[in-house]
Structure formats: C-alpha cells, structure tokens
Amino acid sequence: MITLATVSPCYNEEEVLEQSAAHLTALFDNLIAQGKISNESVIVFVNDGSRDRTWEIITRLHKQNARIRGINLAHNVGHQNAIMAGMMTAKDWADAVITLDADLQDDYKTCIPQMVDDFQAGNDIVYGVKVSRTADPLLKRMSAQAFYRLQEKMGVNSIFNHADFRLMSRQALEMLSGYKERNLYLRGLIPLIGLKSTTVDDHISEREAGHSKYTLRKMLNLALDGITSFSVKPIYYVIYLGIIFLFISLGIGIYVIHAFINHTEVPGWASLILSIWFVGAMLMISIGAVGLYIAKIYEEVKQRPLYNISQILD
Ligand code: UDP
Ligand code: MG
C-alpha cells in the first residue's frame, strides 16, 4: 500500500479552499477504505503569499484534520515555484506526490485513483492530459493550443495539453531536485527526467468558486519561459532574418545601380520611411530576443532560492 500526498498551490483561494479540502478528504477516506492508499497519506496546501485569509483557513483545517498539512511561503513566488516548494517538502512524507490546482478544476475523482494504479504498475510519472477543456474560456483554449504548437516548432519536448496535474514518485522527485534552474517550467523539465511514464485522461471542469489567478501577464511570462528555457531556436531565427535582409538589400542595391546608370530618378520618401521603421522594428525584436537569453543567464548565475518557507504545519 502506498502513502500518497497531494500538493496544491493556493494564491488568494479563500473562496474555494474549504470546499476543495472537503472534496479531497472525502476522496482520501474512500481510497483508504478501499485499501488503495495508506492512512498516513496527506493533503498538502501551499500558501503562495496570499493576501486574503488563505493561510488562516489552512491553519484551521489542519487543526481539525491532521491529514491536512500546510506550507506557508514567505511571499508570492508564483504557481511553478509554489508547486516546487510543495513537492520538495512532501517527498519526505509520501511515496508519491500528486500536484493539482487548489480549485480542483481537474477531474481529480477519476484521475487520482488511476494515477495511483499506474504508479503501482511501475510508472514513476503519470501526466494528466486535458482531453476536453470546454470549461475554459475560448480565448484561453485557443491561446493554449497555439502555444503548444509553437513549443513543438521550437523543439521543446513537452507533453501536449498537459498542465501541472501529475503524479511523481519519490525517486522522480529526487531526480527533479537535481535540476537547479531558477526559471522553472516544470512541464518542460519533468519529461527530461526520463523515467517510465504514462498519461491519464483529464476532463476539465469549471472553478467551483473564486476566479482565475493566472493573469495574462503571468501566462505570457510562463509561455516565454517555456520556450526560452528549453530552446535557443529564436536566436537562430534572428540570424536567418538577418541573412534574408542582407539578400533584400543586395536586390535593392542592384536596382539603385541600374537606375543610376540609366539616369532614371528613384523616388524616395515612402520606401525610405517604410524601410527605416521596418528594419528598426526587426532590430528591436532581435535585440529583445537575444536580451531575453542574457536576462535568463543573469537570473541563473545569481542562484537565488526559488522560495522561502516560513512555516510548515505537519
Ligand atoms: N497560483 C499560485 N500562485 C500564483 C498564481 C496562482 O499558487 O501566483 C495557484 C492558484 O491558487 C491555483 C493554481 O495556481 O491553485 C492555478 O491557478 P488558477 O486556477 O487561477 O489558473 P487557471 O486554472 O485559470 O489557469
Ligand atoms: Mg484553475
């Protein structure tokens, strides 16, 4: 029988936390009664520097039910780092850790028992893969699809339609702790571990309460991390762009010399102003792309901690 831990990051989740805790507790009781998981299994909530009553609620839940444990982070470090904090702490408490969002949008009721079965069948990593996400807003669905495609083009080896709902064995977590990067993009990083893995189908539902904590800016930053942390192709594209521009300028050069020999006048303003702005824009994008990688190097060399834990309720 395995000891299981679930890890859920919480940022301003006061509206949904109690319900989620109750649902997970009911599921755990069920699985324990069936003899699937041990009675030592725990439900872990990581408070990611919330500004509402989230930590207060976690503390109360822990007092009422010893199965529920809490990790309080010193400040908001974001979804990915909060998950990391939870996994690295919970790996000492359980044989396998399942990460899932605190709003329980994932189909935890069917997926968690399946993940446990797959773990017992010898898989070290089990990915939850979204097969239908009709509950997500259309724009979010479309941008997510476009992003997965773009990642694929850039050569990032990640699981299509998998967000951070997954099971990992203690061994896989030990290996993950060896990856020391600061700009965490777990969905790209975990497939690099290379242990035996499988997937389960996940049907997304709507949030029971509260609203999404992923702002457009956070999503965009995650998307950029997802590409720049795993692929240097954008820099190659900059070079290709430069080569294309070189050929275009050669063409223009030949045209100008031809006009000069034939004493024809080349009219100027429109083409001039257009090329100045166009080339200017391309230069800025190119410098930005290169700058992005330099910024990443800068962040990595400082080796700052990913998170600070101020309190653990165990
Ligand atoms: N979250 C977090 N830190 C943040 C933002 C979000 O820990 O800075 C948590 C949040 O509490 C939730 C999970 O990450 O448990 C996913 O966020 P959300 O459900 O708002 O995103 P969505 O499902 O809309 O993508
Ligand atoms: Mg959500």
Q: For residue 294, how far is its CA from the centre of ligand 2 (angstroms)?
A: 32
Closest CA to 163 of 101, 254, 227, 234: 101
- 241-282 pLDDT tens trace: 999 999 999 999 999 899 989 988 877 888 889 999 999 999
Mutate which of 10, 19, 75, 101 to test ligand 1's pocket (most atoms within 8 Å of Cβ)?
Answer: 101
How far is the C-alpha of 165 from the C-alpha of 187, rounded, in Å? 10
Tokens standing for residue 245: 């521009």
pLDDT of 300 > 80? The answer is yes
Q: Is the CB of 128 under 6 A from ligand 1?
A: no
Cβ neighbours of 39 (radius 10 Å)? 10
Instruction: In the chain, count H helices and then E strands.
Output: 10, 8
Residue 207 pLDDT exceeds 80: yes
What are the beta bridge partners of residue 197?
A: 125
Domain 4-220: top CATH class: alpha beta
Ligand 1 neighbourhood includes 212 CB (under 6 angstroms): yes
Instruction: Look up residue 61 and give its two tokens.
Output: 């839940």
CA of 11, closest atom in ligand 1: 11
Q: What residue has token string 């097969």?
A: 131
> Domain residue spans in the chain?
4-220, 233-302
Q: For residue range 139-156, what is the model confidence (pLDDT) as tens digits?
A: 888 888 888 888 888 888
Kindly identify the ligand whose nearest atom is closest to the C-alpha of 218: 1
Residue nearest to atom 16 of ligand 1 (CA): 101
List of residues 6+ apart from 33 with CB closer than 8 A: none
Is the CB of 49 inside a 6 Å radius of any atom of ligand 1? no
Closest CA to 104 of 128, 120, 82: 128
ipTM for the complex? 0.96
164 lines ligand 1 (CB under 6 A): no
| 87 and 183 Cβ atoms separated by less than 8 Å | no
Give the predicted TM-score (pTM) of the model. Answer: 0.87
Query: How many angstroms separate the alpha carbon of residue 38 from the centre of ligand 1?
Result: 29
The DSSP line for 42-56 is EEEEEE-S-SSSHHH
Rounded Cα–Cα distance for residues 258 and 182 (Å): 55
Residue 73 has pLDDT above 90, yes or no: yes
| 77 pocket-lining for ligand 1 (C-beta < 6 Å) | no
The Cα 150–Cα 99 span in angstroms is 25
CA distance 94 to 38: 10
User: Which of ligand 1's atoms lies nearest the C-alpha of 102?
Assistant: 15
Q: How far is the CA of 26 from the centre of ligand 2 (A)?
A: 20
> For residue range 77-119, what is the model confidence (pLDDT) as tens digits?
999 999 999 999 999 999 999 999 999 999 999 999 999 999 9
Centroid of ligand 1 to alpha carbon of 278 (angstroms): 39
Ligand nearest to the CA of 11: 1
Task: Give the Å distance between the CA of 10 and the centre of ligand 1.
Answer: 7
